[in-house]
Structure 1
Amino acid sequence: MQRLVTAELDLDLGSSVDLIFQITAAQQVPVVSEELTFTQGERVYTPTEIVDQSGSRLHRLMGEAGRLEVRYRATVEGQMAASRTSDLEAITYLRPSRYCQSDEVFSQARRQFKGLHGYELIAAVSDFVATSTTYTPGLSQGTDSAVTTLMTGQGVCRDYAHVVIALLRAMDMPARYAACFAPGLRPMDFHAVAEAYHDGAWYVIDATRLANRRSLVRIATGRDAADCAFLSYHGGYVGLARMRVDAAVLPDDVSGEGLQTQPVRAEASDPAADDPASLVQLS
């Protein structure tokens, strides 16, 4: 399966500012071609790339006052190879974190999912969050946590992921946050999902049901949204003047088979074609 992903950001910088981006496909993703540019008028910035322990790629630069244009475009083909999870990593994803306070939802999780383990637990938590939360763009705040979302019953993809992660951790199942490109997502944006560690593998949970998990492209992985922000900055003012994200599944480039590949392309990017009860690993 071949996917095309793009991101465009126009930033207004008020002064010299330290910028850190996470908008590219992760290190392990099978990228066929890729272009990332940072321009300001005639000036072209060369960022420093930093790869964290999970393979997330951070691009850092010191921007100057003015309009900074960020452009990213990549073609991805196939699935990334699964990497081994260390004992330390699994322990890290069992602990409470800033937006996933598994200690605060411990009692609720233990009452609601008592006796469930493994696949049954993953399915039950996914269904609970999907049915108890309403997708409401623009109403949740960037500081909302899993506890906030459980109380309000509304949020966006990051909020759904935080609730899933907090509940799974409270049930002693390692869980983590993943930012990704999502073909077929509406409204199109950077997307967020949860991953649960079961029987030696990570399985993706998208309780929003707004994307087909088989076509997702990983950007960043972490404890929660604080580890996976598409932009963080220090030391100055930054205004987001424009942002456009897109992702699509491309037809296979095989002569004479175009009519056959079109249905495959449509299904791979159709959220309705994804059975939420199935176990899927994020590419």
Structure 2
Amino acid sequence: MPRKAPMKLRISAELKYSLEAPTDALVQVEAAATLQQTIVSERLDAGETTYLSRISSEDSIGTRVWLSCAESLSVRYESEVEIERPAVDLQSLNAEPVHRLPHEAVRYLMASRFCPSDEFQSFVAAEFSQVQGGACIAEMAEWIGSRFIYSPGASGPQTTALDTFVQRRGICRDFAHVLISLARAKAIPARMVSCYAPDVDPQDFHAVAEVWLDGGWHLVDPTDMAKPQETAVIGVGRDAADIAFLTTYGWATLQNQQVWVNRA
């Protein structure tokens, strides 16, 4: 059979913040170059800075950019990305026994700041005891999608998966936090992924989960807005604290933030 052409996305992102004083900032907005996605072209304009350097992101997936800015922070990112990530039927994937998990997956079994998975063990044992592996992850994602309300403004930067579980509303980061917590409580490694996807509504930086099944990582979006084969990964981490698109070490006030993602 002929090889399927890769999905192409055109991505633009713009961040503008005013600063009270000279401030250091860590920016993570560039799509990652991986085996499943190729950066055809990209440009990052960081405006006026006194310092700029790149460092590797978590698990060496993607990059972070250190910036030092005086009065304002202004970042413009543009890229074209080709994605060759096949759609996979989660139902067909098996979970590995915990004692056979490799080093790269073990750390994502542990509870983290926004994903207190140990608090979900009793619930998972009661609700998902009869289903295993990828079928369990698919059922968990469906459970979240059918019971939670996607509600911008309903959560804040300190909202944990437990908060969201109680409130039953939030945004993409909250949905992903809950799925990650449920998966870890089931002894399936799960991590957070920042990404771009064309059908996110309202369009913005997006967050999904990634689970370790059958010896590899597989994207899962409990909001059902991002398909794995149309998702451009930016970076990964334990939870939202590791994948933030912007972390400032000083006071910053939002002036403008926009993201555009289109199929090329």
TM-score, normalising length from structure 2? 0.87
Partner in structure 1 of residue 27 of structure 2: 21
Instruction: Show the counterpart of 2:92.
Output: none
Offset of residue 116 of structure 1: 1.7
TM-aligned CA deviation for residue 204 of structure 1? 1.2
Answering whether residue 52 of structure 2 is matched by residue 47 of structure 1, we say yes
Q: Residue in 1 aligned with 2:254?
A: 240
CA contact 2:114–2:161 (8 Å) conserved in 1 = yes
Deviations 1:224-252 (A, max 9, x none): 00000000011x221111001011111xx
Whether 1:123 and 2:135 are equivalent positions in the alignment is no
Q: Distance in 1 between matches of 2:116 and 2:62?
A: 23
- Structure-2 residue corresponding to 1:166: 181
Partner amino acid, structure 2, of 1:148: D
Match of 1:58 among 64, 67, 73: 64
1:116-265 equivalences under 5 Å are 116-234=131-249, 236-250=250-264
Mapped to 1, the partners of 2:201 and 2:50 lie a distance apart of 32
Q: CA deviation at 1:63?
A: 1.1
1:71 partnered with 2:76: yes
Q: Structure 1: state its 5+ residue gaps.
A: 251-283
Shift of 1:78: 3.3
Q: Percent identity?
A: 36
The answer for the alignment partner of 1:266 in structure 2 is none
Cα offset for 1:58? Answer: 0.4
Secondary structure class of the residue paired with 2:60: coil
Q: CA deviation at 1:39?
A: 1.0
Residue in structure 2 matching 1:37, options 35, 40, 45 = 45
RMSD: 1.6
Query: Which SS does the other structure have where 2:204 is aligned?
Result: coil
CA contact (8 A) 2:193 2:236 kept: yes
Report the CA distance between 1:203 and its aligned residue. Answer: 1.5
- Deviation of residue 213 (structure 1)? 3.0
List gaps (5 residues or longer) in structure 2.
Answer: 1-6, 87-100
1:23-54 CA distance string (max 9 Å, x none): 101132410111001113xxx56621001323
Which residue type is aligned with residue 83 of structure 2? G
Letter in 2 for 1:31: I
Take 1:78 and 1:196, find their aligned partners in 2: how far apart are those partners?
A: 19
Specify the code of the residue in structure 1 equivalent to 2:209. Answer: A
Would you say 1:92 and 2:92 are equivalent positions?
no
Q: Contact (CA 8 Å) 2:212, 2:218: kept in 1 or not?
A: yes
SS of the residue aligned with 2:187?
A: coil
Contact 1:93 1:175 in 2 (8 A): yes
Q: Distance in 1 between matches of 2:134 and 2:204?
A: 29
Q: Is the 8 A contact 2:85 2:229 kept in 1?
A: no
Q: Deviations over 1:108-159 (max 9, x none)?
A: 0111100321121111111111111110011111111110111000000000
**Inter-partner Cα distance in structure 2 for 1:199 and 1:154:** 31
Q: 1:109 aligns with which of 124, 138, 142?
A: 124
Query: 2:42 corresponds to which letter in structure 1?
Result: E
Counterparts of 2:134 and 2:72, CA distance in 1: 48
Shift of 1:212: 3.0
Deviation of 1:80 after TM superposition, in Å, equals: 6.5
- Kindly indicate whether the alpha-carbon contact (under 8 Å) linking 1:38 and 1:46 is maintained by their aligned counterparts in 2: no
